Amino acid sequence: MGEIVLAAKITHVPTMLLSERPGPLEGTRQQAIDGHKEIARRAREAGADTVVVLDTHWLVNNGYHVNARDHFKGVYTSNEFPHFIQNLEYEYNGDSKLGDLIAEKATAKGVYTLSHQVESLDLEYGTLVPMRYMNPEGDLKVVSVAGWCTVHSIESSRLLGEAIREAIEASDNKVLLLASGSLSHEIWNNDEYAANNGTFTISKEFNRQVDLRVLELWDKGEMSTFIKMLPEYAALCHGEGGMHDTAMLLGALGWDKYEGRGELIGEYFPSSGTGQANVIFSL
């Protein structure tokens, strides 16, 4: 019987890659990188053999979608930030069986979901950035779920999360489940970016204060309170991908019946106007 062995909400800011290289950003995202490595260390210690990533950089306009190829290999350059992510080589094994099972379980709940094994359907950087630090040897299988959901409800994403858990439990997989996306996500206006040192600042103090309150709620285990505010939080603070990754994660953990807590790994930090964190949710 499979199980979720670790669950986390994580950052995937592209400046993590620039932080590795000589230049003005060298070392500036080290604590975020270290957070990814610590999450992976704990997951492996718990027996993880598979990563399911809820990726807010995979945009979908209809239905829910799972990238369930059995093998991924390529060279990625971001069309959004080509000056940040260029020629990123990757190679991972996938798990079409688990991806198909997720789609089957979700569709049975009335949430139309497709699992794809399409050679030309590549991974997005919401998956590739964390895998660079969490899965450098490619020993963990990777399944990616679209998390930038433009015409979807929080309720259907909750049900998809529930289906993900059921599919994992019906498999033999030991899964690290990752909601890959920011907290608040109001990127600086292009005309204001440079004047506000945009790479290292948040665009609105309101967003920062709400982010900090959310982290406090998670730390105290007050998840039912957070769930009540999730739709407004996602809307008012421009949550990345509508925060459907977070709804899926919490759906997998039991939604308002979840009694665990969120442990901040490293520090909360602003990036290009947005609020970022790595948080492990106790199981």
Domains of the chain plus CATH, in order, are 3-281 (3.40.830.10)
| Structure tokens belonging to residue 18 | 């620039």
Please say if the pLDDT value at position 159 is more than 90.
Answer: yes
Please say if the pLDDT value at position 283 is more than 90.
Answer: yes
| Structure tokens belonging to residue 84 | 């940040």
**In this predicted model, what pLDDT tens digit does every residue of 123-148 receive, in sequence order?**
999 999 999 999 999 999 999 999 99
Confidence (pLDDT) at 264: 98
* C-alpha dihedral sign at 74, 147, 156, 164: positive
Confidence (pLDDT) at 148: 97
Confidence (pLDDT) at 197: 85
**Cα–Cα distance list, 70 to 73, 141, 194 (Å):** 10, 9, 43
pTM for the full predicted model: 0.98
